[in-house]
Structure 1
Amino acid sequence: MDHPELLLYFFGVALLYSSAGFGGGSSYLAILVLFDLAMFQVRSTALLCNIVVVAGSVYLFYRSGWLDFRRAAPLALTSIPAAFIGGWLPIEPTLFYLLLGISLLSAALLMWFQPRLPVEGTPKKGAGWLGPLIGGGIGFLSGMVGIGGGIFLAPVLYFIRWDIPKRIAAVAAFFILVNSISGMLGQMTNPAFKIEWAFSLYLMLAVLAGGQIGVRLTINKLSPASIKRITALLIFLVGIRLLLH
C-alpha cells in the first residue's frame, strides 16, 4: 500500500483513543488530510476505522455492565437518522474542509478543557429533552465530516453531569458506533461515493489491533489527561492548517 507509515499512525491513535472509549475519527481525518487523499476516501476510511475500534469497546463496556441502552437511546434515536442524512448530503470539497477544520478546532478545545466529574459524584438521571437535541445535532455534523461524534458528546455529558466517567465513556462508544454505521450507509447512497477497499482494509486491521490492546491495557507512561492534551494540540494544529489552506 502507499504510505505504509499510516499503519503505525492509525495503530497508535486506536490504542490511545480506545482506552477512553473513543474511536479516533477526528485524528484519522487529520492524518489522512495531511496525506492529501481524496475527500470521499478520507471520510469513508475514518468511519470504517471508527466502527472497527468502537465495536470492541461497546462489547466490553456492555459485558462489564457499564452500558445502559435505555439511557443511551434518547441520544442515539435522533443521531442515527441525522448522521445518515449528514453522510448522504452532497458536499463540495471546499465546504468539507472548512467544516472539518472548524470541527477539529472545536474537538481540540473540548478535549483540552473537558470538565472532570468525580467517580463518586451523584449522577443525573438523564439529559431530559436535551438528549434528542444533543444527539441529533452532533449526529448530523458527524455524518457530514466523517466522524462518530463521541469527542463532541463526552464533554457535553460531563458538563451536564450526565453520569460517572465510565458510563459516559460507554455511551460515547455506543454513540460513535451507531453514528459511524449510519453515516457510512448515508455516504454509500451518494452517487459520488468512492472508496479504495484494499487501502482501507490495511488501516482497519491496524486499528483493530490497536483498539483491542487499548481497551484492555492501562497506559502507565502517560496519564489520561496528558494523552488528551497531546492529542488536542495535534488536532488543533491540523485544524488551523486546514483553515489556512
Structure 2
Amino acid sequence: MIESVDLLLALCIALAAVLYSSVGHAGASAYIALMALFGIEAAVMRPTALVLNIIVASLASFRFLKAGLFRWRALWPFLVTAIPMAWLGGTIHLPSEIYRPLVGGVLWLSAARLLWPRELKVEREASDPPLLFALPMGAFIGLLAGLTGTGGGIFLSPLLLFMAWAPTRQASGIAAVFVLANSLAGLGGQIATLDALPPQLPLYAGAALIGGIIGTSIGLKVNIKLILKLLALVLLIAGAKLIGLY
C-alpha cells in the first residue's frame, strides 16, 4: 500500500530529476540525500539511487543524442577507464570521513568557478582531451562514482567546460552517456544488494522518469548561461550532501 510519505518522496525525486537532468546528470546524489531525509535504510539507498539514475540517464542520453549534442571523441578516453573503476568502486565500502568532504569541496570549487563573473570560453570550437590526461582521470572519476553511488557526471561536466573540451549543451549530452555507463557498472558491482530494492521502486521510478522528461526538455531549450547556473546549483547541492551538511 502506498502511503502519503511515499508520494511525498516520489514528488521530491521528480523535482530532483528535473533539476539534474536539465544539465545532463541523473540525480543520484540528490536521491540519496532525499532517501536519507525520509529515513530510508542505508543499505537500500545506494542501489535504489543507481536504478533511478539509470532510468533518468537513459532518457537524457537518448534526447541529447537525438539532438546531436554529443561527441564520442570527448567521451571515450574517460569512459574506457571509468567503467571498470565504477564497478570496482561499487564493490568497496570505505569509511567516508575523509573522501566525502574532499570530493564535496571539489564540487563547491567547481560551482564557484561556474558562478564566477568572468565568462567561461566554452562555446568556442572544442578541442579533444589528451589521452594521457583523460585515461587516468576517467579511472579516478569512475572510482569516485562507484564509491559515492553516483554516475560521475558531477565530476566530468565541469572538467569538460573548464578545459573547453565541449560547449555547454554538448557537455550535458556527453555527461548523460557517461552517467548511464557508470551507473550500470556501479550497479553491477552491487549486484548482491538488489534484493534490498524497496517495494515502492515503481513509484519512485515513474516519478524520476517524469522529472527526467521535463528536465531534458528544459536543458535542450533554455539559455546557455542559465544552464551553467543550474549546473552550479547541482554542484552546490551535491557538495553539501557529500560534506554532510544535510
Instruction: Bin the TM-score by the shorter chain.
Output: 0.7 to 0.9
1:201 is matched with which residue?
202
Report the CA distance shift for 1:68/1:234 in structure 2 as closer, same or farther (over 3 A): closer
Return 27-36 or 163-172, whichever deviates more: 27-36
How far did 1:10 drift? 0.7
State the alpha-carbon separation in 2 of the partners of residues 72 and 226 from structure 1.
Answer: 23
How far did 1:37 drift? 2.5
State the alpha-carbon separation in 1 of the partners of residues 160 and 187 from structure 2.
Answer: 25
State the alpha-carbon separation in 2 of the partners of residues 38 and 103 from structure 1.
Answer: 23
Report the CA distance shift for 1:125/1:234 in structure 2 as closer, same or farther (over 3 A): closer
- Give per-residue Cα distances to partners, 1:55-95, cap 9 Å, x unaligned: 11111121122222343211111111000011012x15xx1
- Give per-residue Cα distances to partners, 1:101-136, cap 9 Å, x unaligned: 543443343233237544541311233311111111
CA contact (8 A) 1:29 1:43 kept: yes
- Alignment-mate amino acid for residue 91 of structure 2: W
Q: Give structure 1 stretches of 5+ with no counterpart.
A: none
2:147 is matched with which residue?
144
Give matches, 1:1-245, under 5 Å. Answer: 1=2, 3-4=5-6, 5-89=8-92, 91=93, 95-96=95-96, 99-114=99-114, 117-118=120-121, 120-188=123-191, 190=192, 194-217=195-218, 218=221, 223-241=226-244
Return 37-46 or 12-21, whichever deviates more: 37-46
State the alpha-carbon separation in 2 of the partners of residues 132 and 46 from structure 1.
Answer: 26
How far did 1:8 drift? 1.2
- Alignment-mate amino acid for residue 145 of structure 2: S
Query: What secondary structure is seen at the aligned counterpart in 2 of 1:22?
Result: coil
Root-mean-square deviation (CA, aligned residues, Å) is: 2.6
State the alpha-carbon separation in 2 of the partners of residues 33 and 106 from structure 1.
Answer: 22
| Count of residues in Structure 1 that have an aligned counterpart in Structure 2 | 237
Return 234-243 or 138-147, whichever deviates more: 234-243
How far did 1:201 drift? 2.5
State the alpha-carbon separation in 1 of the partners of residues 63 and 237 from structure 2.
Answer: 28
Q: Give structure 2 stretches of 5+ with no counterpart.
A: none
- Give per-residue Cα distances to partners, 1:153-196, cap 9 Å, x unaligned: 111122221121122111111110000000001111x4x66422
How far did 1:216 drift? 1.4
CA contact (8 A) 2:74 2:165 kept: no
State the alpha-carbon separation in 2 of the partners of residues 228 and 73 from structure 1.
Answer: 22
State the alpha-carbon separation in 1 of the partners of residues 234 and 64 from structure 2.
Answer: 23
State the alpha-carbon separation in 1 of the partners of residues 21 and 82 from structure 2.
Answer: 21
State the alpha-carbon separation in 2 of the partners of residues 33 and 97 from structure 1.
Answer: 17
How far did 1:14 drift? 0.5
Calculate percent identity across the aligned residue pairs.
30
What TM-score do you get using the length of structure 2 for normalisation? 0.84
- Alignment-mate amino acid for residue 13 of structure 2: F
- Give per-residue Cα distances to partners, 1:23-77, cap 9 Å, x unaligned: 1122112222223432221111111111111111111121122222343211111
CA contact (8 A) 1:86 1:186 kept: yes
